[in-house]
A and B are shown apart, each in its own frame.
Chain A
Amino acid sequence: MSELHTKTLSEIAALLQSGDVKVVEVVKHCLDRIEATEPRIKALITVMGDEALKEAEAMDAAGPDPSKPLWGVPMVLKDLLTTKGVKTTCGSKILENFVPFYDATAVARLKEAGAVFVGKANMDEFAMGSSTENSAFFMTANPWDVERVPGGSSGGSGATVAAGQCFGALGTDTGGSIRTPSSFCGIVGLKPTYGRISRFGLIAYGSSLDQIGPMTRSVEDAARLLQVMAGHDPKDSTSVDVEVPDYLAGLGREDLKGVKIGLPEEYWGEGLDEEVKEACAGAVAQMQKLGAEAVPVKLALTEYAIATYYIIAMAEASSNLSRFDGVRFGYRNKKAEELIDMYTASRTEGFGDEVQRRIIMGTYVLSSGYYDAYYNKAAKVRRLLRQDFDKAFEQCDFIAGPVCPTTAFVKGDKADPLQMYLMDIFTISANLAGIPAMSLPVGLGKDSAMPVGLQLMGPAFCEAEMLSVAERLERALPPLSIPEL
């Protein structure tokens, strides 16, 4: 079947379970697709062709397993999730040859469910960036227009799914890193509630913000992956021990009657590109046609979110990245004769510019004399931002708005770091508050012809309801095809 790559994850899972296609056939198709499109897209740091084919042969020999919901489904992982025996670089020279001896919990759960991994996706170094231009290895291109960025930092994951190289990928989202590439690449991306999916094995950037999530070509696919990964993990002290609902059960609803959608004026005003506004407003109008009620809400502190986020994220990054010292793993400068010199030379040569900039900034805001003025102040504003959401959710069930002020921009267009940080204005608040948020493709911008994503945000642990609403909206919108490559 030459069109296999156009199937959704749910469709291919069903075909594999019924025996209509073999795992080897599907894996080979993905590897062929990778070979054909990678020269232009460059989504993957590592292609796991031999391992995937060997596993596929063993699976076909054993036959379909109905107890494994992802049996034989080819997937890609962002290259900051540890994979036993497979290189995990974090997009950094400092981890260029790092081969973990354990799987991240999310990876282990996908494996247990039968997924076959065909590659590890490119990313901004240590997840620091909004465009996948900060990888130490190469830039990834947007499959809709290879001159443009795929978004970041999970840009490799976004591009590989959009290009039909696999049926789903995992990304991580610290300040929008699942939602922005999903929006730019025209796919579905879900950042679950903080604590919903274990972070064990996720190489940390901002520990109180990072969350793993699915990136797929349909809402149903996202629900399937979340179902497999969600749930308490004793290996992660931030993993929340609450029941996991049935995320697929609420899909297929008839309408959106009784659903209140909050529209914060701070997300729909100045600074938003007209084509993004138009596409998102069209999707909201569609929700209203389906019976949803739109209500105005206030998120008055939105303008403080970027400053709050970057202080907290950089502070946590400076602490998390102190483990990279060239002693136990990663790059080491071999010329240094003394220990401190070795630390310094290894880190200076191993980290790229954006990572160094954030480490220095993080160290600065945590240093004596500045801690209260910056880090502690940001932690207080973070509480106020969460209270802003709590108040908004007294008036509505979900908040809707754009993911990003623009569609995918041209590579090199945002050279100034502060200018790049400002692109995250609509996504970072959800990470600070720890609430779930997702990006749903709602069409192409009329000027750029690039995908536009609508963002939905909801109260903590409302993923089941959010997916249900998103899936109904998805069925009402014209589908985006796989871009021609």
Chain B
Amino acid sequence: MKISPEEVAKVASLSRLDLPEDKLELFAGQLGDILAYMDKLGELDTDAVEPLYSPVKHTTVLRRDEVRKDYRREEILANAPEQDGQFFIVPRIV
């Protein structure tokens, strides 16, 4: 399957990545090869097969419904590139 540099650019933009022209060209070639390899799954008839998304059943464990503080605010903010001691600071949105 062929994939064009323009298609790679579109998917990259959906993934919040902005790649230069030479990388788009390189990735287009490589992703085309990888997708062509993946197309071999089409050889298998899977119409009646239930998908398997995880090897185990996920079990949601509910804690007791009581107020609890696991971590302090300053711990959670400590790794933020920008914060004011109360909130994460980000560039303007509008």
Interface residues of A, Cβ cutoff 8 Å to B: 97-102, 194-195, 208, 234, 237-238, 240-241, 301, 303-304, 306-308, 310-311, 318, 322, 325-332, 334, 336-345, 347-348, 351, 353, 356-357, 359-361, 363-365, 367, 374, 376-384, 386, 416-418, 421, 432-435, 460
Q: Is B86 an interface residue (CB 8 A)?
A: no
Let me know if A327 and B88 touch, CB within 8 A: yes
Let me know if A338 and B91 touch, CB within 8 A: yes
- In the complex the two chains form, what is the Cα distance from A318 to B15 in whole Å? 8
Let me know if B27 and A360 touch, CB within 8 A: yes
Q: Is B58 an interface residue (CB 8 A)?
A: yes
Q: Is B67 an interface residue (CB 8 A)?
A: no
B27 to chain A, nearest CB (A): 6
17 contacts between A and B (CB under 8 A): A97-B79, A306-B37, A322-B16, A337-B91, A337-B92, A342-B90, A344-B13, A356-B19, A356-B27, A360-B8, A360-B11, A360-B15, A363-B11, A363-B15, A377-B42, A418-B37, A433-B55
Let me know if A347 and B17 touch, CB within 8 A: yes
What are the residues of chain B within 8 A of A342 when measuring CB–CB? 90-91
What are the residues of chain A within 8 A of B14 when measuring CB–CB? 363, 367
| Total A-B pairs, Cβ < 8 A | 169
Q: Which residue of B lies closest to A301 (CB)?
A: B44
One of A311, A338, A367 near B11 (C-beta < 8 A): A367
Let me know if A238 and B56 touch, CB within 8 A: yes
Let me know if A329 and B80 touch, CB within 8 A: yes
Q: Which residue of B lies closest to A196 (CB)?
A: B56
Interface residues of B, Cβ cutoff 8 Å to A: 3, 8, 11-19, 23, 27, 30-31, 33-35, 37-44, 46, 49-56, 58-61, 63, 71, 75-76, 78-82, 88, 90-93
- In the complex the two chains form, what is the Cα distance from A250 to B15 in whole Å? 49
- In the complex the two chains form, what is the Cα distance from A421 to B63 in whole Å? 41
Given A308-B41, A336-B91, A356-B19, CB of A208 within 8 Å of CB of B30: no
B22 to chain A, nearest CB (A): 12
- In the complex the two chains form, what is the Cα distance from A238 to B58 in whole Å? 5
What are the residues of chain B within 8 A of A304 when measuring CB–CB? 40-41, 43-44
B25 to chain A, nearest CB (A): 13
What are the residues of chain A within 8 A of B81 when measuring CB–CB? 326-327, 330-332, 334
Q: What would 10 more interface pairs be, CB under 8 Å, given A194-B55, A434-B55? A: A195-B56, A304-B43, A307-B41, A332-B81, A339-B92, A347-B17, A356-B19, A361-B34, A418-B34, A421-B34
Given A363-B14, A367-B11, CB of A376 within 8 Å of CB of B61: no
Given A329-B80, A336-B91, A360-B31, CB of A381 within 8 Å of CB of B37: no
What are the residues of chain B within 8 A of A97 when measuring CB–CB? 79
Given A386-B52, A433-B55, CB of A359 within 8 Å of CB of B15: yes
Let me know if B16 and A386 touch, CB within 8 A: no
Let me know if A379 and B31 touch, CB within 8 A: no
Let me know if A101 and B82 touch, CB within 8 A: no
- In the complex the two chains form, what is the Cα distance from A234 to B62 in whole Å? 9
Let me know if A338 and B52 touch, CB within 8 A: no
- In the complex the two chains form, what is the Cα distance from A477 to B71 in whole Å? 50
- What are the 6 closest A-B residue pairs judged by CB atoms, nearest first? A434-B55, A379-B51, A332-B81, A329-B79, A383-B52, A380-B46
Let me know if A339 and B90 touch, CB within 8 A: yes
Q: Which residue of A lies closest to B51 (CB)?
A: A379
B19 to chain A, nearest CB (A): 7
Let me know if B80 and A237 touch, CB within 8 A: no
Let me know if B11 and A380 touch, CB within 8 A: no
Q: Which residue of B lies closest to A434 (CB)?
A: B55
What are the residues of chain A within 8 A of B92 when measuring CB–CB? 337-339
- In the complex the two chains form, what is the Cα distance from A97 to B30 in whole Å? 31
One of B17, B37, B49 near A356 (C-beta < 8 A): B17
- In the complex the two chains form, what is the Cα distance from A330 to B78 in whole Å? 11
Let me know if A338 and B46 touch, CB within 8 A: no
- In the complex the two chains form, what is the Cα distance from A303 to B54 in whole Å? 21
Given A99-B78, A363-B11, CB of A384 within 8 Å of CB of B55: no
Given A337-B92, A338-B93, CB of A307 within 8 Å of CB of B17: no
Let me know if B12 and A384 touch, CB within 8 A: no
- In the complex the two chains form, what is the Cα distance from A135 to B75 in whole Å? 27
- In the complex the two chains form, what is the Cα distance from A286 to B17 in whole Å? 53
Given A101-B71, A418-B30, CB of A377 within 8 Å of CB of B41: yes
What are the residues of chain A within 8 A of B30 when measuring CB–CB? 357, 416-418
Q: Which residue of A lies closest to B40 (CB)?
A: A307
- In the complex the two chains form, what is the Cα distance from A367 to B15 in whole Å? 11
One of A101, A195, A416 near B76 (C-beta < 8 A): A101
What are the residues of chain B within 8 A of A381 when measuring CB–CB? 41, 44, 46, 49
- In the complex the two chains form, what is the Cα distance from A414 to B16 in whole Å? 28
What are the residues of chain B within 8 A of A331 when measuring CB–CB? 81
Q: Which residue of B lies closest to A377 (CB)?
A: B41
Given A101-B75, A338-B92, A381-B46, CB of A208 within 8 Å of CB of B15: no
